[in-house]
């Protein structure tokens, strides 16, 4: 080989080596969206955004979220419904129950909400099967070691209410380590399939037990930044509940010993109720106008009125009137959920 040909061959080899090295370095240093490290995924928490390498903007992982109604308890012993967003997965009902457990991972959430879980941290869900509307829930016997009758009843009722929010479930049969038992430590009956009951049923020594029932909503003041409405089932003296009777009960306010509030202005009276084309017009006396002076309370009082009206299926919107004039400029759409976190 001549010297000239040798030099040409050497130059070509050097060019080829340089090109290949540049490709390797470019591939190593410039990740595309499909080249995300597995550590980026495994270190993520629910709700976190994934920051893609080599991109100026953050991108969210496309995860299907289900808004699920869960039940917790407050310091007064009431069950409080709260909608939480749960990433969709197979066995979503079991995932919902796990979010009601007193686990270390959820302690910060419970502190932020100012509410308590209904299931102890030691509780295990051995199995959950659903057939013909009946959910058979097998729990470990650790759930039987609760401190009092209120916690025991809240656990059972909270689980039943949560599971029966799923369309496929109408009743819940409890099992404990594979066995059906008659009752728990403080007497809660779990011998048969249970259906949702009246939530936070209010019973006093002078209350009727055979009248109609309405649900009213009062303000729960927790130690957290969140304010909650607590549904109270109240027995009334009339057999046929109406929206008018429900609002009258709401205005009466919570019982003094309940620990709940309803900051409607003193002296407010209900002047009338009318439902037409899905809009409930609720007319209050002039005292109601004083509500606007308390900006912190106005929103939750209006929400309590709307949620009390929502129990009647024909109500889609609420117009609040004062002496026949609109208090809210337009009809307030009744919220889908009582509380959200």
Distance CA 279, CA 276 (A): 5
Q: List the one residue out of 226, 245, 247 whose CA is nearest residue 237.
A: 245
Token couple for 113: 């909400």
**For the chain, how are helix, strand and coil distributed in percent, rounded to 5?**
30, 25, 40
65-176 to CATH, choices 3.90.105, 3.30.300, 3.90.550, 3.40.1130: 3.30.300
Token couple for 63: 């995860």
Q: Which residues of 152-168 are buried (b: 16+ CB within 10 A; e: fewer)?
A: bbbbbbbbbbbbbbbee
User: pLDDT of the chain along its 341 residues, tens only?
Assistant: 544 444 444 444 444 444 444 433 333 333 333 333 322 322 333 333 333 233 333 344 457 888 999 999 999 999 999 999 988 888 899 999 999 999 988 888 888 889 999 999 999 999 999 999 999 999 999 898 899 999 999 999 999 999 999 999 999 999 999 999 999 999 999 999 999 999 999 975 455 566 789 999 999 877 777 889 999 999 988 778 999 999 999 999 999 989 999 999 999 999 999 999 999 999 999 999 999 887 678 888 999 999 999 999 999 999 999 999 999 756 666 677 789 88
Which residues lie below 8 Å from residue 300, measured CB to CB, with a gap of 6+?
219, 227, 229, 263
Q: Are 81 and 70 in contact (CB under 8 A)?
A: yes
Look up the pTM and report it. Answer: 0.77
Amino acid 233: pLDDT: 96
Please state whether beta strands 134-139 and 171-176 pair in parallel, antiparallel, or not at all (unpaired).
Answer: parallel
Torsion of CA 85, 88, 92, 95, to 10 degrees: -60
What residue has token string 């061959």?
9
Distance CA 198, CA 39 (A): 47
Could you give the 3-state DSSP secondary structure of residue 12? Answer: helix
Domain range list for the chain: 65-176, 201-333
Amino acid 134: pLDDT: 97
Amino acid 11: pLDDT: 44
* DSSP symbols for 223-243: SSS-EEEEEEEEE-S-SS--H
Q: Are 275 and 288 in contact (CB under 8 A)?
A: no
Distance CA 305, CA 298 (A): 11
Longest pairwise C-alpha distance within the chain: 117
């Amino acid at each position: 080989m001549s010297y000239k040909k040798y030099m040409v061959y050497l130059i070509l080899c050097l060019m080829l080596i340089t090109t290949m090295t540049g490709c390797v370095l470019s591939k190593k240093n410039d990740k595309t969206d499909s080249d995300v490290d597995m550590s980026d995924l495994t270190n993520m928490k629910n709700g976190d955004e994934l920051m893609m390498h080599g991109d100026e903007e953050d991108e969210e992982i496309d995860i299907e979220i289900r808004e699920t109604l869960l039940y917790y308890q407050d310091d007064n012993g009431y069950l409080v419904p709260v909608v939480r967003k749960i990433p969709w997965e197979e066995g979503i009902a079991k995932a919902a129950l796990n979010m009601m457990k007193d686990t270390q991972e959820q302690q910060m959430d419970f502190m932020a909400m100012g509410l308590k879980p209904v299931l102890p941290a030691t509780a295990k869900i051995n199995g959950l099967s659903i057939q013909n509307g009946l959910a058979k829930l097998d729990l470990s016997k650790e759930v039987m070691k609760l401190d009092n009758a209120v916690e025991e009843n809240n656990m059972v009722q909270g689980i039943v209410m949560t599971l029966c929010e799923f369309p496929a479930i109408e009743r819940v049969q409890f099992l404990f380590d594979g066995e059906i038992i008659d009752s728990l430590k403080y007497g809660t009956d779990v011998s048969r399939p249970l259906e949702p009951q009246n939530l936070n049923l209010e019973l006093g020594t002078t209350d009727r037990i055979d009248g109609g029932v309405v649900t009213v909503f009062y303000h729960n003041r927790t130690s957290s930044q969140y304010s909650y409405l607590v549904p109270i089932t109240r027995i009334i003296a009339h057999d046929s509940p109406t929206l008018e009777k429900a609002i009258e009960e709401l205005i009466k306010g919570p019982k003094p010993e309940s620990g709940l509030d309803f900051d409607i202005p003193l002296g407010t009276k209900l002047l009338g109720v009318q439902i037409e084309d899905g809009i409930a017009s609720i007319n209050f006396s002039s005292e109601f106008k004083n509500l606007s002076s308390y900006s912190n309370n106005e929103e939750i009082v209006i929400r309590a009125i709307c949620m009390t009206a929502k129990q009647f299926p024909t109500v889609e919107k609420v117009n609040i009137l004062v002496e026949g004039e609109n208090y809210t400029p337009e009809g307030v759409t009744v919220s889908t959920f009582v509380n959200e976190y």
